[in-house]
Amino acid sequence: MPRLAIVGAIMLWLSACSAPVPKPASAEAVVNVYSGRHYDSDALLYKRFEEQSGIRVRVLEAPGPQLLERLKAEGAASAADLIITSDAGNLFQLKAADLLQPIQVPALEAAIPAHLRDADGEWFGLSKRARVIAFAKSDAAAAQVKTYAELGSPRFKGRVCVRSSINVYNLSLLAAMISRDGADAAQKWAGAVRANFAREPEGSDTDQIKAVAAGACSLAIVNHYYWVRMLSSKDPAEREAAAKVQLIFPDQAGAGTHVNISGAGVARNAPHKANAEAMLKFLISKEAQTAFAELNDEFPVRAGVPAAGAVQALGSFKESDLPLNALGANQAQAQAIFDAVGWR
Ligand SMILES: [Fe+2]
């Protein structure tokens, strides 16, 4: 089904749900959301939450790093109630800057697996993404790859495309390796992959997939949803490119594929804390999780909620159960390693 049709179907479905309207959770029926995400689906979810709760959602959107700077600058005067962003690395940085507060909501703890939320209750995973390997279907050797380690194999010299090490996705991937295998092993891997680069890192994950399709390289590291989105893109060139590429979930015989999250936490000085908690509970509800899955091509964190059809078609996979807090803790070291091996 084309994406617009899916959006329409879900809007209809959301408006057809007839849950009772509870009383607003705080005297002022408002929640101020600072979001590092920018998806139409999020707006639909906010609207549904407004209808269900009677709490008005005010949204400020900015990319993750800018959000952090803004919140730091606003300090105790910040109007932020709920902070939503992608990648556990960003959430860790918010926590480290003391911009989040711990909350205890049993419904959240029950619905979200422990490794996908902060042990202190300062942030919670809402949806999941897998950092996978994209390969050119036309390259028989690349199609055999099963592990991240093989990206550093000498047989793929000049055949690997990746984005810059400044990007939090790659920082989190390397941070996970540091946690599991130690800094020396992580540096060895990064150096070996660096030696196989087809070109200096440039562009987004989508650009890496396009480079694989165009034959500039045979292998790339990308988040799964970029390829899924290209499959049903409005742009025929993107659909054509996606058709030349396939994804594999790495490390199935080992620790499992690296996963990350989009997540949220209650702001340190939230003026409407109860409303922020109510919204978090809504975002983890079955209906919100279903909408997340259908509209963003991410995996729901709540058990029993199926992924979107095109995502399910990738098959089931073993994911790493490394607590995501470790990713943030190792990020500075990950950046130092990337710099040391000249990843750029
Ligand atoms: Fe992304």
Q: In tens digits, what is the pLDDT along the chain, a chain of 344 residues? A: 445 455 455 444 444 443 444 444 456 899 999 999 877 778 889 999 999 999 999 999 988 888 999 999 999 999 999 999 988 989 999 999 999 999 999 999 999 999 999 999 999 999 999 999 999 999 999 999 999 999 999 999 999 999 999 888 999 999 999 999 999 999 999 999 999 999 999 999 999 999 999 999 999 999 999 999 999 999 999 999 999 999 999 999 999 999 999 999 999 999 999 999 999 999 999 999 998 888 889 999 999 999 999 999 999 999 999 999 888 889 999 999 999 999 98
CA–centroid distance, 64 to ligand 1, in Å, is 11
User: Which homologous superfamily does the CATH classification assign to the domain defined by 129-257+319-341?
Assistant: Periplasmic binding protein-like II (3.40.190.10)
Cβ contacts of 173 within 8 Å, gap of 6 or more: 131, 148, 221, 258
Centre of ligand 1 from the C-alpha of residue 49, in Å: 24
The amino acid sitting at 292 is: F
**How far apart are alpha carbons 208 and 224 in whole angstroms?**
12
Report field, pTM of the whole predicted structure over 0.95: no
Q: What is the pLDDT of residue 101?
A: 98
Give 35 Cα–ligand 1 centroid separation in angstroms: 14
Structure confidence at residue 173 (pLDDT):
96
- 261 alpha carbon – ligand 1 mean position (Å): 10
pLDDT at 317: 96
CA–centroid distance, 176 to ligand 1, in Å, is 18
CA of 223 to the centre of ligand 1 (A): 7
Ligand 1 center from residue 123 Cα (angstroms): 19
Q: Where are the domains of the chain?
A: 3-128+261-306, 129-257+319-341
Q: How far apart are CA 11 and CA 333, in angstroms?
A: 44
- The CA distance from 314 to 62, in Å, is 31
Place of tokens 């090490």: 165
> Contact at 8 Å (CB) between 88 and 259?
no
Whole-number Å distance between alpha carbons of 318 and 324 = 16
Tell me how far the alpha carbon of residue 28 lies from the centroid of ligand 1, in angstroms: 34
> What pLDDT, on a 0 to 100 scale, did the predictor assign at position 96?
94
Query: What is the 26 CA–ligand 1 centroid distance (Å)?
Result: 33
Q: In angstroms, what is the span from residue 207 Cα to ligand 1's centroid?
A: 12
CATH T-level fold of 3-128+261-306 = D-Maltodextrin-Binding Protein; domain 2 (3.40.190)
Does 129-257+319-341 match 3-128+261-306 at the fold level? yes
Q: How far is the CA of 24 from the centre of ligand 1 (A)?
A: 33
